[in-house]
Amino acid sequence: MATFDETILDNLEIELPSWAFGNSGTRFKVFGTPGTPRTIHEKIADAAKVNELTGLAPTVALHIPWDTVDDYRALAAYARDLGVGLGTVNSNTFQDDAYKFGSLTHTDKTVRQMAIDHHLACIEVMNATGSRDLKIWLADGTNYPGQGDIRGRQDRLAESLAAIYQHIGDDQRLVLEYKFFEPATYVTDVPDWGTSYAHVTALGERAMVCLDTGHHAPGTNIEFIVAQLLRLGKLGSFDFNSRFYADDDLIVGAADPFQLFRILFEVIRGGGLDTGSPVALMLDQCHNVEEKIPGQIRSVLNVEEMTARALLVDTEALTEAQSAGDVLGANAIVMDAFYTDVRPMLAERRVRRGLPADPMAAYAGSGHRERIVAERVGGTQSSWGA
């Protein structure tokens, strides 16, 4: 029977986004679900349940101002009591009216300073929670030719990022996410990995690229980007999800599990799961029609399964086949690993670690859903923007 290197799997940690436990929907409707968290504390409690059943999700990402509280140190202590920590702090410069024509790239210096100050406030949250990463995703861009000065917007972005970066602590990082369109459709100010790489390289060694798997055009070879950023030492983090048409934010591995396998093979090969690796793995998903806690459980299990399959690739045989020009032989080595069913091995591994063999079944039979539905009555359910 095939086996995989469990020391690599021991390093597998997948951060959960707080917003995945809130209500979400399409551009036209946000759907409510019984038992949806009303506070960041309830979001963290749901994330802790995922970690309890999978052993794969020890941290929770915050989104500011959606997850604003009066006392972040107390919030961090609350999370620790539930067995998880607070991770990446995500900024938000895409919902205020002032940002209609841009935030860090805006022509109005007052608006740019407002956006910079928001990020400085996020750094203060990081200082209180012990978080390492400030993640920046910008909706900045234009819809029409001539609407904005493409080069000028890049100059203003560089200036704004530099103002933020000088406040990043010695043990902290700035990670800059990219997205090739949406909401801007003509020019997005950080549309690709090259633009993000150029900006973070100019900032310094504590600035890295964040790669969201859903933020690429159809047919993009994402594993090439992964390999390139790893060899350049600038891959800071992943936002895992799936896309069919645009940025669908579906469960990771749902649209193309083979793509996830290929990505994770390059992550492993590039040392991204080695002890002490700077690469952070996080989910960035919205559960519009499926239950949220099971959706997150399914997601982290998908990453674990494709990591295990990628670990089955016989790299020595693959190198020999590649060197010999054995095209089909090399491809067969990769495909044999991908088609191997590792689920029984992973179930046995969970049992050895004191976890349920089938976390999805364990959650379904735990009565947890029924309890939170009964308890979380009244108040306002968390949603986009809260």
pLDDT digits (tens, 9 = 90+) for 327-377: 999 999 999 999 999 999 999 999 999 999 999 999 999 999 999 999 999
Residue 206 belongs to domain spanning: 9-311
Q: 27, exposed or middle or buried, with CB in 10 Å at 0-12, 13-18, 19+?
A: exposed
The mean pLDDT value of the chain amounts to: 96
Q: What are phi and psi of 132, to 5 degrees?
A: -90, -40
Same domain, 296 and 350: no
Taking CA atoms, 69 is separated from 136, 188, 309, in Å, by 20, 32, 41
Which of 311, 337, 357 corresponds to the end of one domain?
Answer: 311
Looking at the domain assignment, is residue 380 inside a domain? no
* Mean pLDDT score, 292-300: 98
Looking at the domain assignment, is residue 3 inside a domain? no
Same domain, 255 and 151: yes
Which residue pairs from 5-10 have beta carbons closer than 8 angstroms and sit at least 24 positions apart in sequence? 5/311, 6/349, 8/268, 8/273, 8/274, 8/307, 8/311, 9/304, 9/307, 9/308, 9/311, 9/349
* Mean pLDDT score, 232-253: 96
Same domain, 336 and 233: no
Out of 23-37, 45-59, 275-289, least confident range: 23-37
Residue 386 has pLDDT above 70, yes or no: no
Looking at the domain assignment, is residue 375 inside a domain? no
The residues pairing with 176 across neighbouring beta strands, listed in sequence order, are 136, 209
Same domain, 24 and 141: yes
Task: Show the tokens assigned to 23.
Answer: 């209500």
Asked if omega into 183 is within 30° of 0 (cis), the reply is: yes
Looking at the domain assignment, is residue 356 inside a domain? yes
Amino acid at position 272, single letter: G
Same domain, 28 and 84: yes
The residues pairing with 250 across neighbouring beta strands, listed in sequence order, are 242
Looking at the domain assignment, is residue 43 inside a domain? yes
Same domain, 126 and 197: yes
| Residue-level pLDDT at 206 | 98
Looking at the domain assignment, is residue 60 inside a domain? yes
Amino acid at position 377, single letter: V
The single residue listed with the structure tokens 């989910």 is 283
Same domain, 247 and 357: no
Same domain, 16 and 138: yes
**How far apart, in whole angstroms, are the C-alpha atoms of residue 139 and residue 95?**
9
* Mean pLDDT score, 143-167: 98
- Provide the domain count of the chain: 2
Same domain, 215 and 252: yes
Looking at the domain assignment, is residue 17 inside a domain? yes
Residues 302-332 as b/e (b if ≥16 CB within 10 A, e otherwise) read bbbbbbbbbbbbeeeebeebeeeeeeeebee
**How far apart, in whole angstroms, are the C-alpha atoms of residue 224 and residue 226?**
5
Same domain, 270 and 360: no
Same domain, 89 and 177: yes
Same domain, 328 and 303: no
